[in-house]
Amino acid sequence: MHAQMAALPHHQFDDPADIGDTDGTYLRQAIAWSCTARARGNRPFGAVVIGGDGTLLAEAYCNATETGDCTGHAETNAVRQLSPRLGRDALAQATLYSSAEPCVMCAGAIFWSGIGRVVFGIDAVRLREFRGERAEQRDAELSCRDVFAASPHAIECIGPALIEEASAPHVGFWKS
């Protein structure tokens, strides 16, 4: 496994995305939820979902530590709020804003929900710089873009964006 990791583009940073005011506003809301998660003793991740008409559809944060549910990631929690009450047509017009690049599990939830657009803050490579390489803090080494590329419906993915703001909740959180 370690040899496989060495072959990955471990330190290749994506250039920051230039996002508009509306995307910036909602991404900052997701980042605020990541601060809530951290304040509650969870890993600092947050998500907000906005409908195609600008309606707030869901807000969520990572609650895995407080609930003991390892699937309690922000994006997955947001999708859980939405999928019972909204159809795929509505979700195809929605944007999920995440404080960080969605992990493989969350990207899968986004894929299955039919959400059509994702905007994220800190990318997985930069996040790894905070987290280090401890086994219990590692994610599957797969970009959310790779998961989205396998989708039969288009999922627009924008990020990283607002990197400094999205990084702030992680400063001093991850112990080496």
Catalytic residues: 75
Burial class (CB in 10 A: 0-12, 13-18, 19+), 82: buried
User: Do the Cβ atoms of 161 and 21 come closer than 8 Å?
Assistant: no
User: Do the Cβ atoms of 121 and 99 come closer than 8 Å?
Assistant: yes
Element of type H or E holding 141: none
Secondary-structure breakdown of the chain: helix, strand, coil percentages, each rounded to the nearest 5: 45, 15, 40
Sheet order of strands, 156-158 included: 56-61, 46-50, 95-100, 117-122, 156-158
Give the integer Cα–Cα distance in Å for 92 and 128: 30
